[in-house]
Amino acid sequence: MKRIIVLLFIISLFNCTSQFKIENKKTNKGKEKMEYFDIEKYKDWESDTEWNSNEIVKFLKKGNDRVEIYFYKKGIQVRLKNTQNYYSTVKTYSYKNKLLQGVSHEFYAIDIGIYREYDEIGKLGREIDYDKPYKFSIKQLIEKVKKECNVDLEKKIQNTWAKRKVDQNLKKPFYEVSLGSKEIPGQQEYILIDGTTGETLFETIYYTKGDIETMNPFDQYITKLKKEEEEDNSYFKNYKGKNYTKKEWKEFEEEWYKNYKENKDKGFWDDIFKKPGKK
């Protein structure tokens, strides 16, 4: 009996020890995933002389890669980018313990992808999906502009920019694209794209230099919508004693054409076998 008790005690002790080792292994693994800011990571980078570095900000370069390091009172921000495209990654670190606090990604000045925020011990907290309102993706936008305008928005080849927003009044997501003219300095081609369907909604030319002043392109689109709404709801024509607005007349024409299509293919036998009283 004593031998059995001793044996059970040894097995129990072994299980506890094994469990302790497994838990420690998990904890150590979690710590290894934590990211800290380390200036030594950039020791083989050289100063980017296109910008003036000081105690608050450092501009460094290595090949086509560029990094901007900002030392704020509440934290450290590191912006990584490349001279060949318009993508960048922004990381923020705690000033106190240099632990990673947040990671975000940008295309031009557009927040894209998933923003991740970490607490004071490195545990993942809040996440924001910046792409969620846009069923028409950034990649689809790039392909559309490349196909229709022969311009690659990803490459830094000319004066281009892209924005996106959800308009609170229209309650719709939009992409705004501006393409610089190679022939006329200051002239920009503006394209407004539906963020859900990818449809081109509005195009215009505006200027950023010279004496020509043009209204903000998106404001031009809003003005166009208001004018169309006024026209749709104003008197358009009279038909058989009834006044129609442009919108009402369009609906009437569509309904008339629908009825015409449904009835034009009815043949001789349809009329013969039609029940009395049925139209």
Q: Cα separation of 190 and 208, whole Å?
A: 12
Angle at 148 between CA 133 and CA 181, to 5 degrees: 100
Contact, 160 vs 176, CB < 8 A?
no
In angstroms, the Cα distances linking 97 to 80, 101, 121 are: 21, 11, 10
pLDDT tens digits along 3-32: 444 444 444 443 443 333 333 333 344 344
**The three-state (H, E, C) secondary structure of 132-176, written as one string:** CCCCCCHHHHHHHHHHHHCCCCCECCCCEEEEEEEECCCCEEEEE
Q: Cα separation of 173 and 48, whole Å?
A: 38
pLDDT tens digits along 100-159: 999 999 999 899 999 999 998 889 999 999 999 999 999 999 999 999 999 999 998 768
With a cut of 70, say whether residue 2 has pLDDT above it.
Answer: no
Q: Cα separation of 214 and 24, whole Å?
A: 65
